Amino acid sequence: MAAHVPLPPGLPQLLKAGTRYFSSQQESLFSHITACRALALCLRTSYGPLGRSKLVITHLGKPLFTAHAGTILRELELENPVARMLGAASQAQEEETGDGANAVVLLAGALLDNAEKLVRAGLPVAAVRDGYEVACKEAVRLLPGLACHTLADLRDPDRVAWVLRTAVGSKLFGYQDFLAGLVARCCVAALSPEGTFEPDNVRLCQVPGGGVTDSCLLEGMVFCTEAESRAHQAHQARIAVYCCPFGLAHTETKGTVLFQGPAEMRAYSEEELLGRRVRAIAEEGAGVVVVGGRVDPLALQYADQLGLMVVRLNSRLELQCLCRAVGALPLASLVPPPPGALGHCRHVYLTEIGSTAVVVFRQDSGSCPVATVLLRGATTELLCSLEEAVTDGLNTYKALVGDRRLLPGAGAVEMALAVRLATLGTYIPSPEQYAILEFAQALKTLPVALAENAGLPVNKTMAALEALHQLGTATAGIRLGEGGAPTMDAAREGVLDSLLVKERAIRLAVHTATTLLGVSHILVAKKSGGPKVRAENPNWDLEPDALE
């Protein structure tokens, strides 16, 4: 019988066997800053409109070819707890504003990297955190003063397209003018009379084939499906929407029917009952029936006899959007629609785009609260990039509805803040001044990444950019994709960023960095699961960390 080996005194005696813990500064801070640095370096090459793409193979074996930081972080299975916190912060930025997810990771990684240098030099962690918080407050205070434009009219498609060029072009460079105009038209079409905008009111439909410029905007909805009935079109149709199968409901257990006499037995027939329900739907004036479940062949036969068009949708979200588009109420059972439950659509028809069959619900211009962007592309990867670019444009427009102020892009804001914070840091006689100076250096990593990904000479470009900002040109940015001078006037060229997006990105990056700097212990519980299967490895029953 093996002798019992007691655990060392202290924290190991309080935790369950198999739990890993990191307590010293070397383990809990420096080693995990290295993980955050690795994540930032992974996404650094994808920053900006000329960033390179990543080929990500998911756990299901599905390949993803994308340069979108939000998509990459969603598919990466991060094991390091600190890196997972940084990824969660980037995804929060993606969900709130739709843009700036990569900037959060790069800025937070640079802040942690510079904090490591200060801590190793002997500066207390508390002083570093206080300096970062002071610099963050000052940067947020300076942002409104750097605003160069204001979107005056949210319903002007040309002006909105000029504003959205940067957000759309950062994901698909080269088509920013066409896509910005397309996104601007759909945003203006989906803007409510009260001035509110919800990105969910704009639906995206991917149809393989054609080119990017074949994409178009449709007032209504498009579904990649076929009509179940023989009727393939309806004009000025009234629409009944059912969340249930198109047929009689069946119980999960056997049912019993009790008849009081032979007359009731002769009158009872499920076929007649189903026929009466379908005829009642047609008598109420419905010309199109949209269902969210299976379609019974017998019910479909009755629908064909009555000339009803039957469309099946598998997504409950698509049913809800269709109800908003046509003004219908979803019904939970196959009953005649009550007054006010039927929707209306000008034209419903089945057509073929490329080699894909689609059902189109087209409404009158200006009367439909839901718009659909039909995306065309030669490959699946191009269609995914188009969807990411359009989604970022929609979220940027939503941010502009809340705050219409715009900042110069192309790294101009980051360099302007870095120059002013560096000046501020030299006049603060306290240990926090070192953290403020490192904060200013961390802001410069964003324009440096832009220059690197564009293939520009980094030292020459950054020297010219900083010289312009030292002279007071706060709108000077990096010129991408063109020859000539490495810098440009971002405000004049129309390279603009939303102030709300930039402010939230800075706040979130600083909050993440200061939170991680305040961690003193990291406790990792043992992974759940049953006993492992014996393998050829002699250490098959040990965790990989225990082997190291």
Per-residue pLDDT of 23-44, as tens digits, reads 555 566 777 788 888 888 888 8
Task: Select from 218, 206, 204 the least CA-distant residue to 393.
Answer: 204
Overall average pLDDT of the 317-341 stretch:
82
Pairwise pLDDT comparison (205 vs 9), residue with the higher score: 205
Q: Residue 252 pLDDT more than 60?
A: no
Q: Residue 313 pLDDT more than 50?
A: yes
Banded model confidence at residue 250, pLDDT cuts 50, 70, 90: low
Task: Specify the pLDDT at position 14.
Answer: 63
Task: Specify the pLDDT at position 531.
Answer: 56
Banded model confidence at residue 539, pLDDT cuts 50, 70, 90: low
User: Residue 6: how many CB atoms within 10 A of its CB?
Assistant: 6
Domains of the chain, first to last: 16-148+408-524 (1.10.560.10), 217-377 (3.50.7.10)
Pairwise pLDDT comparison (60 vs 319), residue with the higher score: 319
pTM for the predicted model, two decimal places: 0.78
Q: CB under 8 Å to 328, separation ≥6 — which residues?
A: 239, 240, 241, 322, 341, 342, 343
Task: Specify the pLDDT at position 176.
Answer: 80
Task: Specify the pLDDT at position 346.
Answer: 85
The single-letter DSSP state of residue 12 is G
Dist. CA 359–CA 433, nearest whole Å: 63
Pairwise pLDDT comparison (484 vs 70), residue with the higher score: 70
- And the tokens for 154? 């949210």
Task: Specify the pLDDT at position 1.
Answer: 46
Q: What do you get for the CA distance between the two ends of the chain, in Å?
A: 28
Task: Specify the pLDDT at position 422.
Answer: 86
pLDDT per position as a tens digit, 201-240: 888 888 888 788 888 887 778 888 888 888 888 888 888 8
Banded model confidence at residue 265, pLDDT cuts 50, 70, 90: low
Overall average pLDDT of the 328-355 stretch:
83
CB-count exposure of residue 315 (10 Å: 0-12, 13-18, 19+): exposed
Q: Residue 528 pLDDT more than 70?
A: no
The single-letter DSSP state of residue 406 is E
pLDDT per position as a tens digit, 56-91: 787 777 777 777 777 788 877 777 777 888 888 888
Residues, the chain, total?
548
Question: To the nearest whole number, what is the mean pLDDT of the chain?
Answer: 79
Percent of the chain residues past pLDDT 70, beyond the cut: 85
Task: Specify the pLDDT at position 398.
Answer: 84
Q: What is the DSSP string of 67-121?
A: --HHHHHHH----SHHHHHHHHHHHHHHHHHSS-HHHHHHHHHHHHHHHHHHHHT
Task: Specify the pLDDT at position 160.
Answer: 85
Least confident range from 46-60, 139-153, 444-458, 493-507: namely 46-60
Overall average pLDDT of the 341-368 stretch:
80
Banded model confidence at residue 548, pLDDT cuts 50, 70, 90: very low
Buried/exposed 345-366: b ≥16 CB within 10 Å, e otherwise: bbebbbeebeeeebbbbbbeee
- And the tokens for 417? 């803040």
Dist. CA 39–CA 254, nearest whole Å: 57
Task: Specify the pLDDT at position 523.
Answer: 63
Q: Residue 135 pLDDT more than 60?
A: yes
Task: Specify the pLDDT at position 547.
Answer: 38
Pairwise pLDDT comparison (426 vs 27), residue with the higher score: 426
Pairwise pLDDT comparison (377 vs 59), residue with the higher score: 377
Overall average pLDDT of the 349-368 stretch:
78
